Amino acid sequence: MSHPKNVISIERNAVASRLAEIPESFFELSYSKFDNEKRRLWFVESGLINWKEAACVGQDPSWWFPERGQNDILDLALSICSQCNIKTECLAFAICTGEDQGIWGGTTGRERRNNRRTILKRLRIKRAEA
Ligand code: SF4
């Protein structure tokens, strides 16, 4: 199942000032596991994203990793993401660190894999508004 609207909705929910704190180099595509691990560490140490604000806190984490064909669960997770206050930051984290499995920032792994350059470009444009 495809949810193209989620990818397109980046601009509407973006928090430019938070995106601006992410190092510019993170908005370059990297296929290096080493780079992505360093980036992940940066996000953890920076405390930039307040995961306590996440709408998925307290929910069953498996909903964000549905099996093929579990469309009801997929839709449930996406609907929770759509109401999340840190949706854009969550998407930035996933896309900057090469996270290509599971639902992050209201996008599926497939959407991120297929639209990585487009999402990075849109996040970069948004951060420039800060
Ligand atoms: S956008 Fe990210 S933090 Fe928010 S509910 Fe979805 S997966 Fe959780």
CA 99 to ligand 1 centroid distance, Å: 13
Q: Would you say the CB of residue 26 lies under 6 angstroms from ligand 1?
A: no
Give 34-81 pLDDT, tens digit per residue.
Answer: 999 999 999 999 999 999 999 999 999 999 999 999 999 999 999 999
| Mean pLDDT, rounded, for 20-35 | 94
The model's pTM is 0.90
Which residue carries 């928090």 as its tokens? 15
The DSSP result for 43-81, as a single string, is: HHHHT-S-GGG-TTTTS-GGGGSPPTT-HHHHHHHHHHH
Q: Would you say the CB of residue 106 lies under 6 angstroms from ligand 1?
A: yes
pLDDT of 103 over the 60 cut:
yes
What percent of the chain is predicted at pLDDT more than 90?
78
Ligand 1 pocket test: which of 56, 65, 76 has the largest number of ligand atoms within 8 Å of its C-beta? 56
Domain ranges of the chain: 4-24+34-127
Q: Would you say the CB of residue 78 lies under 6 angstroms from ligand 1?
A: no
pLDDT of 126 over the 90 cut:
no
